[in-house]
């Protein structure tokens, strides 16, 4: 009677309210093209994401200064997913259905990108990947283009294991976070180590929220490995470096590091300082490597970053994020359309010129020619940002064409 009718009215009113949700722009305006993304600006990947965002906004301004894309001004929308994959589906649904963006870019990093992939495949969207690792391997979306200097596990771990074998390493310890990036890499690295004849004396996953690594480092030390291959995200990488400094990993370890994300972020590099010495880790760019146009870009980026109070060095992500913009620009101008299918076709078939060199894609949407650098930290001093601008603090061990030095081992000796 009264109550059931009330119920109907109440529910109806609520439905009406939500149906009339404020929608940013119901119809895409004719002279604007919207590019949207979620970027981790806080949380584990936050420091990297903020730097990447500066580079992307720099690209948007550059493009708009030239008149925009196909005579339409670019409007750039970025939300913060806080490095939490649970926030990503909601953010991209909002971007697509409320903000009505025309193009999407993936968030920086494998972990926030993983939930986007099924959605992208189901809605048939072009996705520009951003430093993810093998995040498309299970979903196999054909309009995925990842901008990162690696493609599969071997492109990453080859450098690390090759150096190890050269100094006679026979065993390896694996320490990996239980999240998409580290697990993808760990699965690949394990298989490669086996093929190479290396013995895995320790192999552990840890929950991504772990903050105290003392027990894990102790256990690694007790297993006496020749190499320790660590696959971690920024928060854990920093904690692991500190734990190694506190507890020690054993005098027999020849190499330590490999896949530690976050040791390339300037704030971490400055805060950890001399604690980094001796660690062999991957990178995408170190000063001294010659990509055409990169030093120019870094100078312009530095100015913008200083204003935004973000990482002023910008070695790791910013050049690659700018390159994402450049690739979109080239493809869109070439096919003269914003149609996702046409852009994807172009990206599959042509090589593009960017500030990180020429980029060509393989069938799986990853770089056809990987270029992962393994470098050893040497002679790093505490609390000194400018020391990183000169070559020499990160000695490149692999690949051959960029090599600047040989591995110093054992690990304990290289730290001193």
Partner 1 sequence: MFFSLDLLFEALMFGVLLGCFYAAVSIGLSVSFGLLDVPHVAHPAIMVFGSYCTYLLASYGWDPLVAGTVLMAPFFLLGMLVYRFYYETFEKRGTEAGVRGLAFFFGIAFIIEVGLILGFGVDQRTVNAPYIGESLRLGDYRIPHRMLVAFGVALVLTFVLTLYLSKTFTGRAIKAVAQDEPALRLMGANPVRIKQWAFGIATAASALAGAMLIIVGPVEPALDRLYIGRTFAIVVLAGLGSMTGTLAAGLILGIAESIVLMFFGASWAPAVAFGILLLVLGVRPQGLFGR
Partner 2 sequence: MKFWIPAAVLVLAAIGLALSPVNEYFFYASYIVLTFVVLATAWNILGGYAGYVNFGTAAFFGLGAYTATVLFKWLGAPLVVQIAVAAAVCGLLGFGVGLLTLRLRGIFFAIATVAVIFIMETLMINWRYVGGATGLQLLRPEVMAPFETYTRMLFAAMAAMAVGAVALARWVQVSWIGRGLRALRDSEEAAECAGVPTLKLKLFACTLSGALMGAAGAPMPMYLSFVEPVSSFNLTWSVNALAAAMIGGTVHWLGPVIGAVLLGTLQQVVTVTISNEVNVLVVGVLLVLFVVVAPEGVLGLIKRWLHYFR
The residues that touch partner 1, with contacts defined as CB under 8 A, are 42-43, 46, 82-84, 178, 204-207, 210-212, 214-216, 218-219, 222-223, 235, 239, 242, 245-248
Q: What is the DSSP letter of 57?
A: H
Comparing CB distances to partner 1, the nearer of 69 and 240 is 240
Q: Does residue 360 sit in helix, strand or coil?
A: coil
CB of 119 to partner 2, least distance (A): 5
One residue of 90, 362, 379, 405 binding partner 2 per CB under 8 A:
90
Asked if residues 397 and 163 have their Cβ atoms less than 8 Å apart, the reply is yes
Q: How far apart are CA 411 and CA 416, in angstroms?
A: 9
Q: How far apart are CA 102 and CA 53, in angstroms?
A: 19
Q: Judged by CB under 8 A, does residue 117 bind partner 2?
A: yes
Backbone angles phi, psi at 70, to 5 degrees: 50, 45
CB of 86 to partner 2, least distance (A): 3
Comparing CB distances to partner 1, the nearer of 244 and 356 is 244
Comparing CB distances to partner 2, the nearer of 52 and 95 is 95
DSSP 384-413: -SGGGGSTTSEEEEESGGG-------SHHH
One residue of 50, 87, 277, 284 binding partner 2 per CB under 8 A:
87
One residue of 61, 138, 362, 382 binding partner 2 per CB under 8 A:
138
One residue of 183, 223, 271, 387 binding partner 2 per CB under 8 A:
183
Comparing CB distances to partner 1, the nearer of 250 and 357 is 250
Show the binding pattern over residues 44-73: x = contacts partner 2 (CB under 8 A), - = does not: ------------------------------
β-bridge mates for residue 145, sequence order: 128
Comparing CB distances to partner 2, the nearer of 77 and 335 is 77
β-bridge mates for residue 273, sequence order: none
Q: How far apart are CA 288 and CA 285, in angstroms?
A: 9
Comparing CB distances to partner 2, the nearer of 23 and 385 is 23
Q: Judged by CB under 8 A, does residue 11 bind partner 2?
A: yes
- What's the start-to-end Cα distance of the chain, in Å? 82
Q: Judged by CB under 8 A, does residue 25 bind partner 2?
A: no
Backbone angles phi, psi at 255, to 5 degrees: -140, 140
Q: Judged by CB under 8 A, does residue 199 bind partner 2?
A: no
Q: How far apart are CA 123 and CA 109, in angstroms?
A: 21
């Amino acid at each position: 009677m009264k109550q059931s009718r009330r119920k109907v009215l109440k529910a109806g009113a609520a439905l009406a309210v939500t149906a009339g949700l404020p929608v940013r722009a119901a119809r895409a305006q004719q002279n604007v093209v919207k590019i949207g993304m979620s970027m981790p600006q806080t949380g584990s990947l936050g420091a990297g994401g903020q730097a990447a965002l500066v580079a992307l906004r720099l690209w948007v301004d550059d493009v708009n200064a030239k008149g925009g894309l196909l005579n339409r001004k670019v409007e750039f929308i970025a939300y913060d997913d806080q490095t939490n994959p649970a926030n990503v589906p909601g953010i991209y649904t909002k971007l697509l259905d409320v903000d009505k963006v025309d193009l999407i870019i993936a968030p920086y990093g494998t972990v926030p990108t993983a939930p986007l992939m099924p959605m992208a495949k189901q809605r048939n969207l072009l996705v520009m990947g951003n430093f993810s690792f093998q995040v498309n391997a299970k979903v196999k979306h054909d309009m995925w283009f990842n901008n990162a200097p690696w493609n599969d596990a071997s492109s990453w771990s080859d450098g690390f294991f090759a150096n190890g074998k050269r100094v006679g390493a026979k065993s390896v310890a694996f320490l990996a976070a239980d999240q998409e990036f580290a697990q993808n890499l760990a699965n690949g690295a394990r298989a490669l180590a086996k093929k190479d004849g290396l013995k895995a004396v320790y192999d552990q996953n840890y929950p991504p929220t772990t903050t105290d690594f003392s027990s894990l480092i102790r256990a690694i030390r007790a297993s006496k490995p020749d190499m320790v291959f660590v696959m971690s995200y920024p928060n854990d990488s920093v904690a692991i470096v500190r734990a190694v400094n506190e507890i020690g990993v054993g005098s027999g370890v020849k190499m330590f590091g490999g896949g530690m994300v976050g040791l390339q972020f300037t704030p971490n590099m400055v805060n950890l300082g001399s604690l980094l010495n001796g660690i062999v880790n991957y990178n995408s760019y170190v000063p001294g490597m010659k990509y055409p146009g990169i030093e120019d870009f870094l100078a312009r980026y530095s100015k913008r970053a200083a204003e935004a109070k973000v990482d002023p060095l910008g070695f790791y992500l910013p050049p690659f994020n700018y390159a994402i913009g450049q690739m979109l620009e080239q493809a869109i101008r070439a096919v003269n359309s914003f149609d996702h299918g046409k852009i994807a076709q172009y990206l599959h078939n042509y090589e593009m010129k960017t500030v990180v060199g020429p980029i060509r894609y393989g069938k799986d949407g990853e770089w056809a020619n990987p270029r992962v650098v393994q470098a050893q930290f040497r002679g790093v001093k505490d609390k000194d940002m400018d020391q990183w601008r000169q070559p020499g603090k990160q000695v490149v061990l692999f690949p051959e064409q960029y090599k600047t030095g040989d591995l110093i081992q054992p690990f304990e000796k290289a730290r001193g």
